[in-house]
Structure 1
Amino acid sequence: FITVLTGITGRMVQDAPRESVAVPMLLDFMGDAVFVAHNAPYDSNFLKASCERIGHQWPHPHTIDTARLARSVLGRDEVPNHKLATLAAFFQTQVQPTHRALDDARATVDVLHGLLERLGAVGVLTLEELTASMRRVPHQRRDKRHLADRLPEAAGVYTFRDSDGRPLYVGVSQDIRRRVRSYFTSAEQRPRMTEMVGIATEVTAIVCATDLEARVRELRLIAEWKPPYNRRSRHPERTVWLKLTSEAYPRLSVVRAVTDDETSGRVYAGPYSSRADAQEAAAAITEATGLRACTQRLRPGHRAAGCVLGQIGRCAAPCDGELPPATYAGIASSARQVMLGDTTLVDEAIAVRMSGLAAQERFEQAAMWRNRLDAAVLGIRSSAQLRAFGQVRQIVAATSRPGGWDIHVIRHGRLAGATFCPVGHDPYAAVEAVVTAAEHVDPPISPDTSALIAESRMLLRWLEGARPIDIDGCWALPLSPAGTG
């Protein structure tokens, strides 16, 4: 049977080591490694029988069967069967199986890598998760594979919807059809996703010209729809800013949005990830500049309740009614310069404060002030970057990828257009077309942008590796950016 199946004859292996030598050598080589094989039970049963014959204990290694794994990952619409030769052809392995030990082992390795790539895209990252992926798919999930049948094999955004058409989950992929199909395999182990798939009756798709466009669309749709099964980025519109008010005696205030133009005297820093971070930043700026920390509304010539900071000289104490607004204006001006990007004053003041605390061996308090300084600098740097980005009327830039160029139009910090220009096509014509078709974007209130902050930051990261084509307006940051002294 073996000769008929593989073409291997007894003469071909007559000089090979005997079973009593070969099997212990193999087990010693394996150690405690994971045993991977195609149709693993077939191989392991032979080895178990050999161990019994030579009186050697079978070590019961952790086993991964690439055949079972393939059945859970690849449907019959992708491969006609799950034989090693079929899978090797599907994954275009470097070595094709020939029913010879080394060739088959190398082909199995390449097939395993192909399966791991597919599984990694759906969050299977550990050996335990990989083992779970070999389990049989419940028929309730398997029966919904047809939801992916008419989806495009292209990059873009997909949305799972319930029977009423309500969005349940929004995702993004380079291959929408393949990604959606993976939800109906045993590779998907997340309980929430299993629950979502059970509810879903439809999957819709939006094909995008570029990966960046797809990620931006995903972000916007999640912010608009707030799908119940999207945990991350459900509220990207929620921001926390630090605001220098324009009262007679300005102070720092934590606010949820930029609502006033900075030309009116108000200045913003941020956004921060939480109210607590904004308050830490405010503490550092207040300490360095002498701004009042109280929240009461003060009027020139009117006394108000004082505080401890005024009594110990760490606040200008305008609450006593004796400090003219013009005198306090110098303090507010220093704070304004700090908020606009020159953090020298804060750097030096907090450094002195930390040194004094460290000299007294009050290291925890010194670390607290270091964290406050970091929070202040982070928010100031962020607002400086967004302020400059949001005021640029238009940026056209491109990045290369296999087969051509991704070209994007960004207006006031918002993605306004995207296209892909294949190799051999006129890139200037592609640029002209995408600029003409790009969305009109109104300028924002500084230092905000005309997009979600998460979108603007995504675009800024992309621009770091992009080739600028055209910039309409001035895009610059302060010569001495925040945090450099």
Structure 2
Amino acid sequence: MDYAVQGTLDELGTPLSQVTFVVFDLETTGVSAAEHAITEIGAVKVRGGEVLGEFGTLVDPGSPIPPFISVLTGITDGMVTAAPKIRAVLPAFLEFASGAALVAHNAGFDVGFIKAACAAHDYPPPTHPVVDTVDLARKLLTRDEAPNCKLSTLARMFSDTEPCHRALSDARATVDVLHALLERAGSFGVHTLEELRSFARAPSPEQRRKRHLADSVPTGPGVYVFEDEGGDPLYVGKSTNLRNRVRSYFTAAETRPRIREMVGVAARIRSIACATALEAEVRELRLIGSAKPRYNRRSRFPEKMFWIKLTDEYFPRLSIVREVRDDGASYLGPFTSTRAAEDARAALHEAVPLRQCTERITPGRGRSACALAEIGKCGAPCEGRQSVEEYGVHVATARRVMELDAAPVFSAVEARMERLALDQRYEEAAADRDRLAAYVRTSARMQRLRSLTSIPQMVAAAPVADGAWEIHVVRYGRLASAGVMPKGAHPDAFVEALTATAETVVPGPGPVHAAGAEETECVLRWLESPGVRLVQVEGSWSLPVTGAGRLRDRIDRAYRVAEPRRSREGRPPR
């Protein structure tokens, strides 16, 4: 005989109306919980839609706050001098959050710093249930409603509080976002904390229904193409193990709404086996650039690039152009947007007093100078105050900082930022930060690209499993051939055959002339990976000693906080 058994209240879960949430946010000196420190904690305790309390304090990080972080958050060394250290703040925060579920926007970041602080001060790691409002937003909002899951975007939809990179203010905004998302979750039958946590990552019925599409996909490296009923590409991706990667699209691991939507449209998956992982990465980029699948968001328009050109005329100027020509001019790029190009040009103008007018100027034909001449930003060659030779000194400096030496621009913009920060003109300093980052990053990128694209042919090899070697032929920065040499094969014969059948590559003008910048960067990453050995090199492979690469490290360490961490969104789909 079967007996009915009444379930316990624990089995029913905790109703959301009875759950105490502590919504919190941190400000830090960087993005790594192992290397950086907390500068501010803000938290709001809520239950049943009501605020029960707030917790907010600055924290002395024990080290200087990088200028870039001060520009972003407005938190300076002077503000945290009298603040308590984390060892005093941590127990108070843990007590405030006791018995509650923790909520944060991009929770992995904030919880990671709390766990690191607990480990450093001998506190047990927090075991609170964690709710990430980024995951909930991805599940509950469509692309039409919210173009991304940034906190600033969601706050404009659901909150009267504008996030401003201060911990308590951002936590208050996240409370409003949480309550709005909980309302929406209720229409999906989500009424308990346990249901809420599983709902955010549960595969959709459409994902479950189409799992069979992955059955015929092989293992090994390659490219996969999701296609619709008409055979048109929807999404292109690559993997070192095609079957495992494709299967993940039909599991709870895939949470991106846009990609879940794509799975619902897909009718088949086409796979392209590749000899090596690098070949797969390159083929992916080429397919995305040619087919332009609507569900790929990155790499779809490699032709839409912008360059800063030092024009070829009597009195050259910095012009933003769409293509590189074989005209002997100096170019800096590529930039993915005109905004980035304009930012980098503004940084160059801070260090080099080139004219900023657009008219062609010839010696002996004068006109009235503009205001830039009066403030020392231009030598007024239009009025005849500078000869072609005198102006040429600035042109030579501009060419040098565009191609070889980034230090003069970095020093000039950094000095201006420091002056603005001292005057508490943070918005202007932040604008200069963006300009400097745009210049340094692109300059470093171009120098890396040019180091490879100037080489007619390079053959390199790396060891793989079972004594085999993967070998690539690169011509002018373009992957021309790829193969795997089995154990025991004769290296010279294999390399000779691989180079003989490699793609013929004809060089063109500019730093990136035979392949897209992303493809050449893929090749560079592989060449710089551990174990790679150069087999043949025509010419030399080098970077300028005074190049921008050494300055990019400084930019990235401090500036990175404004992108993946404070953007408050997950990784966008490719």
Distance in 1 between the 2:195 and 2:326 partners? 53
> 426, 438, 459: which one pairs with 2:523?
459
Q: Which amino acid aligns with 1:463?
A: L
TM-aligned CA deviation for residue 471 of structure 1: 0.8
Q: Which amino acid aligns with 1:197?
A: V
> 374, 398, 402: which one pairs with 1:311?
374
* Cα pair 1:244 1:252 within 8 Å, conserved: yes
Q: Which amino acid aligns with 1:332?
A: V
Q: Which residue of 1 aligns with 2:124?
A: none
Distance in 2 between the 1:251 and 1:419 partners? 46
* 1:187–1:340 CA distance, 2 compared to 1 (3 A): closer
TM-aligned CA deviation for residue 305 of structure 1: 4.7
Identity of aligned residues (%): 45
* 1:132–1:428 CA distance, 2 compared to 1 (3 A): farther
> Are positions 1:232 and 2:298 aligned together?
yes
Q: Which amino acid aligns with 2:527?
A: L
Superposition pairs of residues 124-139 of structure 1, within 5 angstroms: 137-138=205-206
* Cα pair 2:379 2:385 within 8 Å, conserved: no
Q: Which residue of 2 aligns with 1:202?
A: 268
Q: Which amino acid aligns with 2:526?
A: W
Distance in 2 between the 1:142 and 1:357 partners? 55
> 472, 475, 478: which one pairs with 1:411?
475
Q: Which residue of 2 aligns with 1:381?
A: 444
TM-aligned CA deviation for residue 382 of structure 1: 2.1
Determine which structure has more spread, i.e. the larger CA radius of gyration: 1
* 1:61–1:275 CA distance, 2 compared to 1 (3 A): same
Choose 449-458 or 231-240, whichever is displaced more: 231-240
Q: Which amino acid aligns with 2:389?
A: A
Q: Which amino acid aligns with 1:481?
A: G
Q: Which residue of 1 aligns with 2:404?
A: 341
* 1:340–1:127 CA distance, 2 compared to 1 (3 A): farther
Q: Which residue of 2 aligns with 1:448?
A: 512
Matched residue SS, 2:511: coil
TM-aligned CA deviation for residue 156 of structure 1: 0.6
TM-aligned CA deviation for residue 456 of structure 1: 0.9
Per-residue CA deviations over 1:301-334 (Å, capped at 9, x if unaligned) read 2233531111222211112245332221122112
Q: Which residue of 2 aligns with 1:432?
A: 496
> Are positions 1:392 and 2:458 aligned together?
no
Q: Which residue of 2 aligns with 1:167?
A: 233
* 1:364–1:432 CA distance, 2 compared to 1 (3 A): same
Q: Which residue of 2 aligns with 1:97?
A: none
Superposition pairs of residues 264-283 of structure 1, within 5 angstroms: 264=328, 266-283=329-346
* Cα pair 1:226 1:234 within 8 Å, conserved: yes
* Cα pair 2:325 2:510 within 8 Å, conserved: no
> 316, 331, 334: which one pairs with 1:250?
316
TM-score, normalised by the number of residues in structure 2: 0.57
> 387, 394, 401: which one pairs with 2:464?
401
Distance in 2 between the 1:127 and 1:478 partners? 57
* 1:378–1:171 CA distance, 2 compared to 1 (3 A): closer
Distance in 2 between the 1:462 and 1:59 partners? 51
* 1:229–1:426 CA distance, 2 compared to 1 (3 A): same
TM-score, normalised by the number of residues in structure 1: 0.67
C-alpha root-mean-square deviation of aligned residues, in Å?
A: 3.3
> 148, 151, 154: which one pairs with 2:220?
154
* Cα pair 1:412 1:444 within 8 Å, conserved: no
Matched residue SS, 1:160: strand
Matched residue SS, 2:351: helix
Distance in 1 between the 2:386 and 2:347 partners? 23
* Cα pair 1:132 1:187 within 8 Å, conserved: no
TM-aligned CA deviation for residue 182 of structure 1: 4.5
> Which stretches in structure 2 are left out of the alignment for 5+ residues?
15-137, 140-193, 552-574
* Cα pair 1:405 1:420 within 8 Å, conserved: yes
Distance in 1 between the 2:427 and 2:254 partners? 45
* Cα pair 1:341 1:381 within 8 Å, conserved: no
Q: Which amino acid aligns with 1:298?
A: I
* Cα pair 1:304 1:320 within 8 Å, conserved: yes
Distance in 2 between the 1:190 and 1:248 partners? 53
Matched residue SS, 2:521: helix
* 1:322–1:366 CA distance, 2 compared to 1 (3 A): same
Matched residue SS, 2:379: coil
* Cα pair 1:347 1:373 within 8 Å, conserved: yes
TM-aligned CA deviation for residue 200 of structure 1: 3.0
* Cα pair 2:203 2:254 within 8 Å, conserved: no
* Cα pair 1:240 1:274 within 8 Å, conserved: yes
Matched residue SS, 1:379: helix
Q: Which residue of 1 aligns with 2:544?
A: 478
Distance in 1 between the 2:465 and 2:195 partners? 33
* 1:226–1:311 CA distance, 2 compared to 1 (3 A): same
Q: Which amino acid aligns with 1:256?
A: R
Matched residue SS, 1:243: strand
| Bigger RCO (CA 8 Å, 6+ sep) | 2
Q: Which residue of 2 aligns with 1:260?
A: 326
Aligned length: 368
Per-residue CA deviations over 1:143-191 (Å, capped at 9, x if unaligned) read 6555444432332111122233221221212333444344455665544
Q: Which amino acid aligns with 1:275?
A: T
* 1:329–1:187 CA distance, 2 compared to 1 (3 A): closer
* Cα pair 1:268 1:383 within 8 Å, conserved: no
* Cα pair 2:202 2:252 within 8 Å, conserved: yes
